[in-house]
Chains A and B, each alone.
Chain A
Amino acid sequence: MAVCTVYTTRSLNSTCSISTPSKTYLSSHQKQLVFSSTDKRTSRRGSSPWVINCSAGDSQTVVIGLAADSGCGKSTFMRRLTSVFGGAAEPPKGGNPDSNTLISDMTTVICLDDYHSLDRTGRKEKGVTALDPRANDFDLMYEQVKALKSGIAVQKPIYNHVTGLLDPAELIKPPKILVIEGLHPMFDERVRDLLDFSIYLDISNEVKFAWKIQRDMAERGHSLESIKASIEARKPDFDAYIDPQKQYADAVIEVLPTQLIPDDNEGKVLRVRLIMKEGVEHFSPVYLFDEGSTISWIPCGRKLTCSYPGIKFSYGPDSYFGNEVSILEMDGQFDRLDELIYVESHLSNLSTKFYGEVTQQMLKHADFPGSNNGTGFFQTIVGLKIRDLYEQITSTKTAAPLEATKA
């Protein structure tokens, strides 16, 4: 892979540093300045030991924050997001196999658990959960996200979820798109200000319980009681430290039990709300039929037949924690391809590049969880929105040729 083309800069007066990763590592403070002449078509191919980090006057790394309580980096949302940009995200090759980081051509996903200041033993001693801010080093998080955003590589610690220890650091090079995923992406104000876009995944208690049952029931140690106890015990810290972040998010994906099936408690059919903040730069909310109006829509009828329980949409303006928002809501399930494309064709401001792109993306990952309901649907749409945001922010043509060569 031609490393430097990833870091092409807009302006010609860019300062670039050259490092040999095997010997010297760039810390967030070090920078070797080398002035180069204009044409930076250094296409170093193969496993060259040279890494050229270019930091432009105005940074090109777009930073996205994702708040989620479902582990790091392997989450479905991340996989959908990286897929929108092309390529699959993989853990860094040849590094610590317990690394939480995912890297694809355009994106790097960092797990914020890596910024734990206390490892599992330390937390036990101090009596704090991982949700507690006291277990996390926000200064380091801020420094490193800032560095990556300005095009400087960092040595980021690794928190090993298996051993519960902090492992030696790994080198993270500034990507085109940096996603920071975890419990506290919007907790610290300084980090918040670095985010170009932020998302909060808000799973209601009933759905969380249903999902954790599915996840854990087969484990020997677990029972309904233990799963329930675990959720309850973490709830105070979750409500105190994690939940308040949703007021800062540009988009919230709220997952609730369905209203289409009375007394459903299986958590299979879901009601998903995409709450989009108005007035966010480079982000135009998705709408149904008539922007700013209130709509209730059941697509199933004469033209489209759906099986039980069907699909129900609604859209409208609202207020959310004092912010003006637009909410697009989907309750129910997609059963067939034509339902998906039908719904897509009636939505506006999707930021698709061609008709049916959302459907195509969903099909590409039909085996991912949530592929037949609002979770997958809205996650895919948010992914496209982020792509749109990225292109607006960078407003360069470098993205297209890079994708073309990868195709």
Chain B
Amino acid sequence: MATLRLHSLPAAREEIPTPPSSVSNPRVLLSPSFHCNKKRVSRRMAVTAMGGGGGAKYKGTQMREKQLTEMIEKKVTEAKQVCEGDETSDECKVAWDEVEEVSQAKADLRLRLEVEKKDPLESFCQENPETEECKVFED
């Protein structure tokens, strides 16, 4: 049987949606329902204890998160511009496809950090702790 350790996340920096899921609140199957605060994010059922909050651990990852956020904004603006002329043009399709690509990349990164609690740079930074990217990010 899975042992459940319920813990709430530190205050989220921004309203972070849960990864694509059919329900916004993962169900707790074993224990009676409990009430969480309004932020969906903090209802989390962890089977194993993992240290730290749900954010990036290393500077490189934090930078990458920021980069992706900016790219999404930029590419949405671009797509809107490109599609103004002709919505069915190839350029328009490609522009929105790029938006989809970076949106998914950001979501994947968030999933890794929030749910799996693993910084993608973890193993790289074990080997190369002195690099700029591997500075541990202090919130």
Contacts and interface: CB of A to CB of B under 8 A. Distances in A.
Contacts of A371: 26-27, 29
Nearest to A226: B76
B28 A370 contact: no
Given A214-B18, A371-B26, A230 B73 contact: no
Contacts of B80: 226, 229
A255 B23 CA distance: 13
B96 A375 contact: no
A220 B69 contact: yes
Given A215-B20, A337-B30, A97 B93 contact: no
Given A97-B121, A215-B107, A366-B2, A268 B22 contact: yes
Given A216-B103, A220-B69, A366 B97 contact: no
B26 A369 contact: yes
Given A94-B123, A367-B26, A230 B100 contact: yes
B93 A236 contact: yes
Interface in B5-26: 14-24, 26
A94 B124 CA distance: 5
A211 interface: yes
B81 interface: no
Interface stretch (A52-60, A119-127, A246-254, A295-303): A119-127
Contacts of B96: 229-230, 232-234
A130 B101 contact: yes
A98 to B, nearest CB: 7
A284 interface: no
Nearest to A130: B97
A267 to B, nearest CB: 7
A40 interface: no
Interface stretch (A274-282, A328-336, A381-389): A328-336
Contacts of B95: 233
A203 to B, nearest CB: 9
A255 B27 CA distance: 19
25 contacts: A71-B107, A94-B127, A97-B120, A123-B97, A129-B94, A129-B97, A131-B97, A214-B19, A214-B20, A215-B20, A226-B79, A229-B79, A230-B79, A230-B97, A233-B83, A233-B95, A255-B22, A268-B23, A334-B27, A334-B29, A363-B2, A363-B30, A367-B115, A368-B26, A369-B23
Contacts of A98: 120
Interface string A355-399: 000000011101111111101000000000000000000000000
A128 B92 CA distance: 10
A366 B28 contact: yes
Closest 5 CB pairs of A and B: A369-B21, A221-B73, A127-B90, A233-B96, A211-B20
A163 to B, nearest CB: 9
Interface of B: 1-2, 14-24, 26-30, 44-47, 64, 67-69, 72-77, 79-80, 83, 87, 90-108, 111-112, 115, 120-121, 123-124, 127
B90 to A, nearest CB: 3
A10 B76 CA distance: 54
Given A129-B94, A220-B72, A337-B30, 15 more contacts: A91-B123, A120-B98, A129-B97, A212-B20, A214-B19, A214-B21, A218-B14, A226-B79, A229-B80, A337-B29, A340-B29, A366-B26, A366-B29, A367-B47, A369-B19
Given A71-B104, A220-B73, A221-B76, A364 B47 contact: yes
Contacts of A218: 14-17
Contact of A127 (B15, B27, B94): B94
Chain B CB within 10 A, most for which of A74, A367, A370: A367
A224 interface: no
A233 B20 contact: no
Contact of A364 (B2, B20, B76, B123): B2
Nearest to B88: A236
A161 interface: yes
A162 B22 contact: no
A243 interface: no
Contacts of A336: 29
A221 B72 contact: yes
B40 to A, nearest CB: 9
Interface in A104-132: 120, 123-124, 127-131
A74 B111 contact: yes
A270 interface: yes
A372 B23 contact: yes
Given A98-B120, A130-B97, A221-B73, A370 B2 contact: no
A279 B52 CA distance: 50
Contact of B22 (A74, A164, A220, A270): A270
